[in-house]
Amino acid sequence: MLVAHGTRSARGVEMIAALADAVATELGAAVSVRAEGAEAAAAAPNPALRTAFVDVLGPSPSEVLRDLDGPAVLVPAFLASGYHVYQDVPREVAESGHPSVAVTAAMGPDPALTRIMAVRLRAAGWRPGDAVVFAAAGSSDARARQDVRRAAGMLAEQLGAPVRIAYVATGTPRVPEVVAELRESGAERVYVASYLLAHGLFHQRLHDAGADGIAEPIGVHPAVVRLIADRYRTAARDLVRAQVR
Q: What is the pLDDT along the chain (245 residues), one digit of tens a residue?
A: 999 988 888 998 999 999 999 999 999 843 322 333 334 334 444 578 999 999 888 899 999 999 988 899 999 999 999 999 999 999 999 999 999 999 999 999 999 999 999 999 999 999 999 999 999 999 999 999 999 999 999 999 999 999 999 999 999 999 999 999 999 999 999 999 999 999 999 999 999 999 999 999 999 999 999 999 999 999 998 887 776 55
**What b/e sequence results for 44-83 when a residue is b if at least 16 CB atoms lie within 10 Å of its CB, and e otherwise?**
eeebebbbbbbeebeebbbebbeeeeebbbbbbbbbbbbb
Alpha-carbon distances of 128 from 77, 116, 139, 151, 164, rounded to whole Å:
31, 17, 30, 19, 15
Identify the bridge partners of residue 167 per DSSP, sorted by sequence position.
136, 174
Instruction: Identify the structural domains of the chain with CATH numbers, from first to last.
Output: 2-107+221-244 (3.40.50.1400), 111-214 (3.40.50.1400)
Neighbours of 153 (CB within 10 A): 15
Global pTM exceeds 0.75: yes
Q: pLDDT value at position 244?
A: 57
